[in-house]
Chains A and B, each alone.
Chain A
Amino acid sequence: MKPGSTLAACAALVRRDLTLVWRRRGDAANPILFALIVVALFPLALGPEPEQLRRIAAGVVFVAILLAGLLALDTLFRSDYEDGSLEQLVLSPHPLSLLLACKIAVHWLTTALPLIVVSPLLGELLHLAAPLRGLLPLALLLATPLLSLLGAVCVALTVGMHRSGMLLALLVLPLYVPVLIFGAGACNAAQAGLPFAAPLLWLGAALVLVLVLAPLACAAALRISLS
């Protein structure tokens, strides 16, 4: 890898972001704890009957992970904005969308992937139906990158604000609606014994599309909010 090339810049950015997460690895567990607590609240609210919990298990896990991801979104640009390195990224000669794609990828790896790993545990807490044990992580594997990419665009729009949490939820959640419908829909269809390939394929198609477009949109949004 030639120093100064775009590839080197991406690699350096990935290494830096991973190092930063590793230095504060205690924080990395927060989304998992959050999802765990949200899931634990449902039996407390609805009662411990396994049948009832099994019916809503996949949807609840999906929503819990979606919300955990939403809360984790704020960390995507926050520290970079505060120490000024985000502006250096915007000023750098390399394509901003590519650099942002690297950042989003690292963010997904460090926040969403652990959530997917613990999703069988979350499912088990709610007596998830046996045929869904493999399907739920698969659906999450397709859905969470979409959530991260769509969320990144909205975070880029709110990056300079002090208390952006509520506003961010208002911006992001309407965009999450289709992802939730297809992701949780696939699980519900499987639970009802219906074919579930179509929603997963739709998720995959949307992921390919958003993977291309979201970094570009994210770069444009970041330019607007840093101008």
Chain B
Amino acid sequence: MNALTLWFHKTGSPPTAYRLAGRIMPWCYGLGLVLGLVALYGGLVLAPRDYQQGDAYRIIFIHVPCAWMGLFAYFFMAANAFIALVWRIKLSEVLAMAAAPVGAAFTFITLVTGSLWGKPMWGTWWTWDARLTSELVLLFLYLGVIGLHAAIEDRRQAARAAGFLALIGVVNIPIVHFSVNWWNTLHQGSTVRLMGPSKIDGSMIWPLLLMALATHVWFFGSVLARTRIGLLELDGGKDWVRAIALGETEARA
């Protein structure tokens, strides 16, 4: 076995992955928090007011990065599900299932912030715009994956079934996006559009990109935290988990 495959197998084994994730996780959280606060300061304080939308536009500093993360998390989940199904790697199963609730949360935040922004700008909380609808379907896809994972008793089988569903969904996302666009443009002209990121000023773009970076880092921190718990659950009866559990009770006593 050469060095690379050895490293690969070692890192993929639950105890090593658990320890590694525990070491990386605080860095992700810390970096995400710092970057996020700087980006928020840049977005909410430093960036100028929009001449048309006033201060209300500032919600995009949350909204847009979360929307990106909703999609990114789905592809992260699907990629891990693919690896889990093809090569039967335990760690990928856990990673995929850890990403699902985080991605769902980002998608939910996107919908909520978009609706908060829509009330003053469009005069309505919700409109059946193509983008809104496909985001809603994305949320349902997430909830389906989470629901299926929760409904099956056997953890590995649950992860495989839910991962399979995630892969079907990845085929579905572009189709939904396309069909919803088609559906909307048939019925009415696009009266409402979210602003394109290319038409944005430099003083507004840097907090946005920084926030995108922060959400990515935060996402990985959150996924790693969930992965650690997922690994403990998966290997519940094994020695290394028992050692951790006993070590922690001893430390507390």
**Residues of chain A whose beta carbon lies under 8 Å from any beta carbon of chain B:** 153-154, 157-158, 160-161, 164, 167, 170-171, 173-175, 177-178, 181-182, 185, 188-189, 194, 199, 206, 217, 220-221, 224-225, 227
Contact = CB atoms under 8 A, between A and B. Distances in A.
A60 B141 CA distance: 24
B161 interface: yes
B179 A174 contact: no
Nearest to A171: B144
Interface string B150-161: 011000010011
Contacts of B121: none
Interface residues of B, number: 26
A71 B186 CA distance: 30
Contacts of B169: 174
Given A154-B165, A185-B182, 19 more contacts: A157-B161, A157-B165, A158-B151, A170-B144, A170-B147, A171-B144, A174-B140, A174-B141, A174-B144, A174-B176, A177-B179, A178-B179, A181-B183, A182-B179, A182-B182, A217-B168, A221-B161, A225-B152, A227-B157
Given A217-B168, A224-B161, A224-B164, A157 B180 contact: no
A128 to B, nearest CB: 19
- What 5 A-B pairs are tightest by C-beta distance, nearest first? A178-B179, A181-B183, A171-B144, A174-B140, A181-B179
B213 interface: no
Given A154-B165, A158-B148, A224-B160, A175 B182 contact: no
B143 interface: yes
A157 B137 contact: no
Given A157-B165, A164-B151, A220-B164, A174 B172 contact: yes
B148 A173 contact: no
Contacts of A161: 151-152
Nearest to A162: B151
20 contacts: A157-B164, A157-B165, A161-B151, A167-B147, A170-B143, A170-B144, A174-B176, A177-B176, A177-B179, A181-B179, A181-B180, A182-B179, A188-B187, A206-B175, A217-B164, A217-B168, A224-B157, A224-B161, A225-B157, A225-B161
A202 B232 CA distance: 47
A188 B182 CA distance: 13
B172 A175 contact: yes
Contact of B137 (A160, A174, A182, A199): A174
Contacts of B165: 154, 157, 171
Contacts of A225: 152, 157, 161
